[in-house]
Amino acid sequence: MVKVLNAVTLDLLKKGINQWPYPWDPFVVKQAIERDEGYVVRLDAQIIGAFYIYSVSKLSDLPIEPQSLYISKIAILPEYQGRNIGSQIIRFACSLTQKQNKTLYLDCWAGNEKLKGFYRVQCLEYVGDFPEEDYFISIFKFSGHVRK
């Protein structure tokens, strides 16, 4: 998983997209896996993608509903991008969200117009842009559950 995250981060940096810090800390990634928050995408025996899904009660001052799910760090090796793998990851996360009767949130660097367009095509609702340290993030959500 670390190898994929590092490869994708370097590719993003080459494109001028400062989405994640580099290099990834293997210990932090291992902890996420142990908490069942880290997921990998395999093609045959090779790991070609990775992402995180975790529960949040409150995420700083962002407009996140309590007890929702957050998907982050969706990373697909550059040579496998453009093959609908990202869409499959989003569908998986939305399905998991529906089963748990929760709301799903995700974000990206506000300057990543390509990714923001991808999220919109996936029928994710744009929430807004919010400050995060020295840059802005765009937040999207999926509310696939029935409110009681």
* pLDDT for residue 114: 87
Find where tokens 């993003």 sit: 12
How much helix, strand and coil, in percent to the nearest 5, is found in the chain?
35, 30, 35
Rounded to the nearest integer, the mean pLDDT of the chain is 90
User: How far is the C-alpha of 142 from the C-alpha of 124, rounded, in Å?
Assistant: 5
- pLDDT tens-digit map of 67-82: 899 999 999 999 999 9
Asked if residues 49 and 83 have their Cβ atoms less than 8 Å apart, the reply is no
* pLDDT for residue 60: 64
pLDDT at 32 exceeding the cut of 70: yes
Tell me the angle at which helices 26-34 and 2-14 cross, rounded to the nearest 10 degrees.
120
Range with the largest mean pLDDT of 11-20, 57-66, 119-128: 119-128
Closest by Cα among 9, 48, 55, 49 to 32: 55
